[in-house]
């Protein structure tokens, strides 16, 4: 488990299922070689927890990946972060990873790492569908989890 798995805010608000979603994202970040993972919210005085502006952030050496800060719960922020990490990545099985249960990322799509995949390319190369199973994001294959490569980290830094 990386350091800083939970920001102080994450323990405050925990609707059903949120803990699992947060843990699943934390495990995923760790499996991708992340050094830190944090969950929090922007607005201390929001009228409801849903309006607090939840965010999740993962960190690699010098690289931060964020969910954005407009999410209604910690779990939603963590799902968004996991999707950013998984959609358009390369699974260890060689296929493109995606969280879309229909097996594609959608139409022409530019991934987090700046790669562009047309629908045709997605179909040719194959898509490995990842889904969250309780506290774990699991690939649709038996290949062990991968870490981000040095080249991918460099591209993330921009
Ligand atoms: Zn796979």
Domain boundaries, the chain: 1-86, 90-138
Q: Which of left, alpha, beta for 117 (phi over 0: left; psi -120 to 50: alpha)?
A: beta
Region 93-120: mean pLDDT is 75
Give 17 Cα–ligand 1 centroid separation in angstroms.
25
pLDDT greater than 50 at residue 8: no
pLDDT greater than 70 at residue 113: no
Give 70 Cα–ligand 1 centroid separation in angstroms.
30
Give residue 13's pLDDT. Answer: 52
Give 117 Cα–ligand 1 centroid separation in angstroms.
17
* Half-sphere exposure in the Cβ direction for 111 (13 Å, CA): 23
pLDDT greater than 70 at residue 5: no
Indicate whether this model's pTM tops 0.85: no
pLDDT band at 123 (very low <50, low <70, confident <90, very high): confident
Give residue 1's pLDDT. Answer: 34
Q: Which residues of 44-71 are buried (b: 16+ CB within 10 A; e: fewer)?
A: eeeeebeebbbbbbbbbeebebebebeb
Lowest mean pLDDT among 45-49, 76-80, 106-110, 128-132: 106-110
Give 143 Cα–ligand 1 centroid separation in angstroms.
6
pLDDT band at 45 (very low <50, low <70, confident <90, very high): very high
Give residue 58's pLDDT. Answer: 93
pLDDT greater than 50 at residue 4: no
Give 42 Cα–ligand 1 centroid separation in angstroms.
35
Give 41 Cα–ligand 1 centroid separation in angstroms.
33
The pLDDT mean for the chain works out to 81
Give residue 145's pLDDT. Answer: 61
Give 146 Cα–ligand 1 centroid separation in angstroms.
10
Determine contact, residues 44/100, Cβ cutoff 8 Å: no
Identify how many contiguous H helices and E strands the chain contains and give both numbers: 4, 10
Give 12 Cα–ligand 1 centroid separation in angstroms.
35
Measured between alpha carbons, how far is 154 from 56 in angstroms, rounded to an integer? 21
Out of 6-10, 19-23, 118-122, the most confident range is 19-23
């Amino acid at each position: 488990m990386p350091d800083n798995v939970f920001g102080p805010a994450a323990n405050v608000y925990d609707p059903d299922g949120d803990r699992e979603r947060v843990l699943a994202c934390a495990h995923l970040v760790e499996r991708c070689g992340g050094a830190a993972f944090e969950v929090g919210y922007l607005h201390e005085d929001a009228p409801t927890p849903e309006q607090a502006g939840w965010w999740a952030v993962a960190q690699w050496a010098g690289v931060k990946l964020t969910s954005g800060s407009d999410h209604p719960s910690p779990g939603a922020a963590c799902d968004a972060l996991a999707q950013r990490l998984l959609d358009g990545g390369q699974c260890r099985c060689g296929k493109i990873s995606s969280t879309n249960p229909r097996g594609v990322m959608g139409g022409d799509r530019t991934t987090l790492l700046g790669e562009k995949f047309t629908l045709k390319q997605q179909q040719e190369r194959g898509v490995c569908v990842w889904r969250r199973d309780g506290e774990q994001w699991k690939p649709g294959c038996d290949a062990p989890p991968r870490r981000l490569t040095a080249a991918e980290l460099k591209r993330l830094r921009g």
